[in-house]
Structure 1
Amino acid sequence: MLPDQTFLRIPGPTPIPPSVQRAMNQPMIGHRDQEIKDLLHSIKPKLKPVFGTSQDVLMIAGSGTAGLESVVTNTVRPGDEVLVIVTGAFGDRFVQICQEYRIATHRFDVEWGEAVKPEAIEDYLKQHHEIKAVFATFCETSTGVLNPVQEIAQVVHQQSDALFIVDGVSCLGGVEAKMDDWGIDILITGSQKALMLPAGLTFLAVSDRAWQVIETNERPSFYLDLTKYRKQLENDSTPFTPAVSLLFGLKQVLELFEEEGLDAVCARHKLMMNMTREAFKTLGIPLLTSDQAASPTVTAIKPHDFDPDALRNVLKKEFKLTTAGGQQHLKGQIFRIGHMGYCSPADVLQTISIIEGALHKIGKHVELGSGTRAAQETMLSGGS
């Protein structure tokens, strides 16, 4: 392999489009100059369709976890009861954040690899009337599950007055999102996934209903006080130093989205998911999730007759292809392929072909080209 050639196929950070890299290489400007105001003014309306909202989208310099923590500190108080739906490692992170702030946390665990059933949440809320907020993960990165947040939002609002808060970090920009129509109160994402940027920005859209709760929450916060970001964004500014280079890149990302069309972006991600899944089905290697629960942005594979970490090591060492391993109790049991953001069906074909060769190198004999052929046939049929 060429020494400078690498293939990044993890569920974030993801590859950066060359035009976005060029945009981020622009000379630095003063973060309080008119140029920043003009930049934010141009970005604001372009972000709204990605979230499916009429609300301005807040931009905070920080990782996606900063966004998760901010919604906890701004919406609930110590002693308040909340429900966290845990379908993997990042649902578990919401639990940890809530417990760190001494929130009375109800934990609803779902078997890893399965999506939550909305009717189960409906039954739970019928029995727990004091819950102030329900936290869920849209795409559970650790398992490749896409949870039915539209249906969950419906039962949350039917059965309670709780806010419905969704972590969309590993899928927003790659799947359809209609925050306002679906009844999501706060939707969060990060820059380093389907938004095709380096890590360092977190984005939040907040409903009018959630703002009413935030405005009456007297809990102190400084850097993560969302009302500060809303006030400054109204004036095309930020309360603290913005990540200027990332904002340059974000403007270009949003222009790429407009050029391709958000519906086409989502269709491309769904096609890549189907190509990946059909390849492994043809190779006879089990997938962690069902077709119904699968995410368009990341696929988790759970082999039964070879070591996934041995495969990952060969992929990395001999082919410069980086994939992700399992987390927590799935460590050493699965491997994950990210197919989001700056990724195309051609990239999926390359990835599957490389994996077939690496499988032979670790002693797992498959018919070379069979998985690639299945992916090709899926691509040519449009994913059907």
Structure 2
Amino acid sequence: MNIICKIAAEPDEFEQIHQLNYQTFVEEIPQHKQNENQLLIDKFHEENTYVIAKAGEEVAGMIAIRAKRPFSLDYKLPNLEDYLPVKGECCEVRLLSVKKEYRSTRVFYQLCEKLVELCLEKNYTMALISGTVRQLKLYKRIGFLPFGPLTGEEGAHFQPMYLTKENFERSTKVFKRLMARSSEQSGQHSFLPGPVPIHDNVKNAFAKEAVSHRNHDFIEDLKELRSHLCRMTGAAFAEVIVGTGTLSNDLVAAQLKNMEGNGLILANGEFGYRLIDHARRYQLSFQTIEKEWNEPILHEEIAYMLTENPSIKWVWTVHCETSTGYLFDISEIQELCAKYGAELCVDACSTAGIVPLNLKNILLASSVSGKGFGSYPGLAIVFHRDRIKGNSSVPRYLDLKMYEDNESIPYTHSSNLVYALKESIKLIDYEKINSLSLKVRERLADKGFSVLGGDDYSPGILTVHLPEGVSSREFGDLCKQNRTLLSYESGYLLERNWVQVALMGAQKEEKVMASIEMMAGIFEKHYEKRYDYEVI
């Protein structure tokens, strides 16, 4: 029997939770009155996080977690605080229920394991529960300790109990192992596009004592970093700003506001459509070429738009569409722009550090310190070909000229992030990334996975389209339980049943390939047959 423990998220899961709640706390333990619908919706339902155990599509067990006071125990024990042995961040665990046919299995322990994991993630210091007196022995075996008087009424008595991390560690070996894994993440491997795995050299650089942004050495070091970024990309200028990729694109949009003529924005995925949103928020005048996700935008289509609309004076596109891995041919688009008298701006947040860039003729390009550059998130980078013209109508934080005129330090800066990025770009190896990506793509295909695109897609983002009947959320949850972090929790990925392997940051081939084997093993173990997917 294959049991998956996860956080409830789907409508059908919540419907089964209400059914199980009724079966347990109306029919089995007479705590609530019967009703015709045979559903019991908890009064704290909207505030609960439900950990559920699923056997296929069936919810076999559940636990509800809630951290908002007052707890249900506050109503049963008015002086609750007087009983608590530990002060700190508490949560209340309620509605613990396992279907009768699953009570002789490991479902209960798997639920508790997921519960501990969630509590650790949320930094709760103690979990409270009203344990039915029928199962006190079981609760104590896990580590729950009783406190205070019994609550409830005849036939439905409950013992208030509490659980701390220390109690878990003293209880069973399975929870000891869990605590050790949660305290030490060395066995975990991340395929997230951010935050990416960090090399030890970068960690050490980040950990140095912070210095003032007016310190002479820091100013010189930032100047050296900007020069290095320009040499890497062929750009004339590079500004390094405290912020995210969203900020770097806002800075580009603010500059486009100063340009005459109309623009053209290309979009065939989440991040191309975000550029359209940036432009709309700045009330830019522009046209678009919009395609379905992962549908190619042909150069002939771009040429046609530029031919038919001579008022178009700038084109804005992502280099890599991070939602799919689709890679635009920037050099050919640049040639088209030069032919028709338009400037090209590029969102290179997911390609800088992953593929070689030639930004010599690009008007503006945005990037970030994380992702392909392999450092911590927190620095926005804007490359520009020309000197920036001033515009006093632009908000100070979005005025690129302020950064140019002040060596990227018009305001407070982060020496920690700067020194981390300065170290991380020394580690970039394009051939290594490309070689590893080819091996991973080939291995995924061998194991029956359907990977979007081919070798002409970004080596940094591999998007897997799971077949119908295999939930990307559940697959991602299973991989997470097995210490491999995939990108799958964004709404746009869940909607399309995609998961992503991002080969960004410090990726060691041995660990990468072991994690790919683990992914394939989950199919073999948790799905009864191997799937032969069509390659998209």
TM-score (norm 1): 0.85
Higher relative contact order (CA 8 A, sep 6+): 1
Q: Deviations over 1:156-210 (max 9, x none)?
A: 12113x2210000011111011111xx32212111110111111101111012xx
Specify which of 358, 378, 403 is matched with residue 229 of structure 1. Answer: 403
Q: 1:347 to 1:171 in 2, by over 3 A?
A: farther
User: How far apart, CA to CA, are the structure 2 residues paired with 1:347 and 1:119?
Assistant: 42
User: How far apart, CA to CA, are the structure 2 residues paired with 1:329 and 1:174?
Assistant: 22
Does structure 2 retain, via aligned residues, the 8 Å contact 1:145–1:295?
yes
Specify which of 119, 137, 151 is matched with residue 318 of structure 2. Answer: 137
Specify which of 423, 446, 463 is matched with residue 282 of structure 1. Answer: 446
Q: 1:66 to 1:363 in 2, by over 3 A?
A: same
Matched residue, 2:414: 243
Matched residue, 1:310: 474
- What SS is found at the alignment partner of 2:396? coil
Answer yes or no: is 1:42 the counterpart of 2:42.
Answer: no
Q: Which amino acid letter does the alignment assign opposite residue 38 of structure 1? A: E
**How many residues of Structure 1 are paired with residues of Structure 2 in the alignment?**
347
Matched residue, 2:152: none
- What SS is found at the alignment partner of 1:223? helix
User: How far apart, CA to CA, are the structure 2 residues paired with 1:256 and 1:78?
Assistant: 37
1:156-171 superposed matches below 5 A: 156-160=337-341, 162-171=342-351
Matched residue, 2:276: 95
User: How far apart, CA to CA, are the structure 2 residues paired with 1:57 and 1:98?
Assistant: 22
Does structure 2 retain, via aligned residues, the 8 Å contact 1:44–1:56?
yes
- What SS is found at the alignment partner of 1:82? strand
Whose strand fraction is larger, Structure 1's or Structure 2's?
A: 2
Answer yes or no: is 1:19 the counterpart of 2:193.
Answer: no
Q: Which amino acid letter does the alignment assign opposite residue 498 of structure 2? A: I
- What SS is found at the alignment partner of 2:208? coil
- What SS is found at the alignment partner of 1:177? coil
Does structure 2 retain, via aligned residues, the 8 Å contact 1:79–1:102?
no
**1:329 Cα shift?**
7.4
User: How far apart, CA to CA, are the structure 1 residues paired with 2:473 and 2:229?
Assistant: 38
Q: Deviations over 1:80-139 (max 9, x none)?
A: 522110021111111001101111231211332244322221111111111232111011
Matched residue, 2:527: 363
User: How far apart, CA to CA, are the structure 1 residues paired with 2:445 and 2:280?
Assistant: 40
Q: 1:111 to 1:177 in 2, by over 3 A?
A: same
Answer yes or no: is 1:177 the counterpart of 2:357.
Answer: yes
User: How far apart, CA to CA, are the structure 2 residues paired with 1:301 and 1:255?
Assistant: 30
Matched residue, 2:334: 153
Does structure 2 retain, via aligned residues, the 8 Å contact 1:51–1:187?
no
Does structure 2 retain, via aligned residues, the 8 Å contact 1:78–1:103?
no
Matched residue, 1:370: none
Matched residue, 1:382: none
- What SS is found at the alignment partner of 1:188? strand
Specify which of 322, 341, 344 is matched with residue 485 of structure 2. Answer: 322
Does structure 2 retain, via aligned residues, the 8 Å contact 1:271–1:345?
no
User: How far apart, CA to CA, are the structure 2 residues paired with 1:230 and 1:82?
Assistant: 24
Matched residue, 1:111: 292
Q: Any gaps of 5 or more consecutive residues in structure 1?
A: 258-264, 368-384
User: How far apart, CA to CA, are the structure 2 residues paired with 1:252 and 1:38?
Assistant: 15
Matched residue, 1:261: none
Q: Any gaps of 5 or more consecutive residues in structure 2?
A: 1-177, 532-536
**1:324 Cα shift?**
1.1
User: How far apart, CA to CA, are the structure 2 residues paired with 1:129 and 1:97?
Assistant: 23
**1:41 Cα shift?**
3.0
Matched residue, 1:187: 365
**1:39 Cα shift?**
1.5
User: How far apart, CA to CA, are the structure 2 residues paired with 1:139 and 1:88?
Assistant: 10
- What SS is found at the alignment partner of 1:21? helix
**1:327 Cα shift?**
4.6
User: How far apart, CA to CA, are the structure 2 residues paired with 1:249 and 1:357?
Assistant: 36
User: How far apart, CA to CA, are the structure 2 residues paired with 1:83 and 1:350?
Assistant: 43
Q: Which amino acid letter does the alignment assign opposite residue 190 of structure 1? A: V
**1:35 Cα shift?**
2.1
User: How far apart, CA to CA, are the structure 1 residues paired with 2:196 and 2:300?
Assistant: 34
User: How far apart, CA to CA, are the structure 2 residues paired with 1:333 and 1:173?
Assistant: 28
Does structure 2 retain, via aligned residues, the 8 Å contact 1:80–1:131?
yes
Q: Which of 1 and 2 has greater Rg?
A: 2
Does structure 1 retain, via aligned residues, the 8 Å contact 2:433–2:459?
yes
Q: 1:124 to 1:91 in 2, by over 3 A?
A: same
Does structure 2 retain, via aligned residues, the 8 Å contact 1:275–1:348?
no
User: How far apart, CA to CA, are the structure 2 residues paired with 1:78 and 1:333?
Assistant: 40
Specify which of 412, 425, 438 is matched with residue 254 of structure 1. Answer: 425
User: How far apart, CA to CA, are the structure 2 residues paired with 1:42 and 1:222?
Assistant: 25
